[in-house]
A and B are shown apart, each in its own frame.
Chain A
Amino acid sequence: MDIDVNQLKEDWCGRQFDEVQIPVAAKEIVEFAQACGETAARFTDPSDPDFQAPPSYTSRFHGGRAMPKDFPIQSHQGFDAGKCVHVNGPLRAGDTVTARSEIHDIYTKTGRSGNMLFIVHRMTFTNQNEEPISVVDWRLVQNQVSRKSKREAGQS
């Protein structure tokens, strides 16, 4: 693979490419919470006055498309290296969240298996009142970036 990382960043980072609305159901919150081992009533009991989704809940959501149209790397070509959730407010049953997607960053790293290309896919979630709920950064990694691309990206 021969990829110019700097050019990729310039062409694709910071541009919203997808927006979806997602209703949030109490039953799914409870199933998610209990399957993960949550025991607090605020995550497992819809009758609790503070009932809300567990903090990492928005990690489960996908947009209408994983990558921008015509983006040269598609999600199935890499693997899921991790997710980071910044929690900005509680997500409640009955809310409808809007999820907006962008490519947030692209960078390279050298690991045991060679050169790796990281693509950070960011989804920003707000509720029906446009109140911030969370930001989820999904790190997608792909092996075997060329040496040329690494040099161009200015990384060792």
Chain B
Amino acid sequence: MYRYDEFDARFVAERTEQFRFQVQRRLNGELTEDQFKPLRLMNGLYLQLHAYMLRIAVPYGTLSARQLRKLAEIARKYDKGYGHFTTRQNMQFNWPKLKDVPDILAELATVEMHCIQTSGNCIRNVTADHFAGAAADEIEDPRPVAELIRQWSSLHPEFSFLPRKFKIAVIAAPHDRAALRYHDAAVEIVKNDEGRTGYRVWVGGGMGRTPYLAYVVGDFVEKPDLLGFLEAIMRVYNENGRRDNIFKARIKILAHSIGEDEMRERVLREFQEIKTSGYLQVPDEERARIAAYFAPPDFERLTDEALPTDGDLGRWIVNNVTPHKQPGYAVATISLKPIGGVPGDISADQLDAVAQLMDDFGLTEIRASHEQNLVLPHVRQKDLPAVFARLQVLGLATPNAGLITDIICCPGLDYCDLANARSIPVAQEIAKRFADLDRQEDIGELKIKMSGCINACGHHHAGHIGILGVDKKGVEYYQLLLGGSAAEDASIGEIMGPGFGEHEIADAVERVVDVYLKLRRPGERFLDTYRRLGMEPFKNVAYGEQLHAAH
């Protein structure tokens, strides 16, 4: 994985001391809250319902065992013994004290971590396929590109005060595991007809109150041109993005108001101007230097094993283990969705224990996924039984990856200052309702995604079943959306109708799932059946007689 050079280390250390001084000035009254707020946000520090919240960047979701141990230490020493993995592959602590945050940043810096650009109107933490470097279907590891973009975008003077935040994802496989089309911009590593590798560049996706899917603005960008091309996109956005209305300030609004042709023309025109004025090209040797940090581990020469498919181990393998590109290896998902638990939460003890597991099985890195799980990318197949046994002891062996109880869920009104409704208790209720693994496996792939407000941190627009919490005169209600997808068949979920009460929403979800089970054709996922039949048959049963639909 990427390691800081001297410049990176000095930059993060200086930034930490800069923030220490800013906190000191705030506490002694030299800075007002209005002056301090943008400074703390630039360092990932929010003020939430109960306390401050610190968001720690995990670039493209990759972590080492050493970093996990540091997060565990911080959770114990400065927080309340746990952390929360987010849909941006980051980690959040929910209870830090302002006075302690400079010390936390100093601790993070010792393991090459920080909170820079995890908030604010800048280019945020770059995300990537959580199976990067391991997936059997990828063209190449997308993380060197993500790292290149991270370095380019960190404190970029031209793009530090954008109209609004800007999120970039990178993938290199036909199967989209990073919600590419829901990003402000996305880079898809592809091969052209000649077999040469380059980049398909997307623009204009997003969730929030106005969801849009990104479209292609660059069909095949040559490798040395990537940063120049991205710079062209950023300039078009910086110049034309709306700064007069925060709700219309994201690039998706610009991209879909001027349209695909006009956007493409503006970007290409800007790119030509950049090229003629002498632009940033990334030399082969620099790309090779970064790529070297992501060299695959020294894989042993192994052959594929006959893996069990029944019993507790077999079911975990069937649901949580994915083929690896290297014979004899596997990708193992550690579900952070225990039935009745808080999606994405992990205790300090679990963080330490997973780090120990990594050491014991020679695993140098782990991934945080945007689906709020952890991924061990390079597990020897012969080690799977022992890894599973260890995870069972840790309470981390829930065999539900990709199933109905593997719910993406934002912190909601239990923690978040922006939320209108609680989301975690609803996710817990639904998970308990579908706890039976036979039933989950019969239902098959079904992605429920839930947000506690229109900002959509829980990706509700992209859920096969999406749930959006709303506030009606101080009471929580929940809208149901069907038909969304964040994968390569991306689509935006359709709102079913009036919201359901807190105690009605799980019933409604269960009725919708029952309709699917009744009407599905062989091999159809929930999403397929919905796309074939539309909303009507599901809506007809969701609002049962005993349900009192809200307005």
Do A and B interact?
no
Interface residue ranges, A against B (CB under 8 Å): none
Interface residue ranges, B against A (CB under 8 Å): none
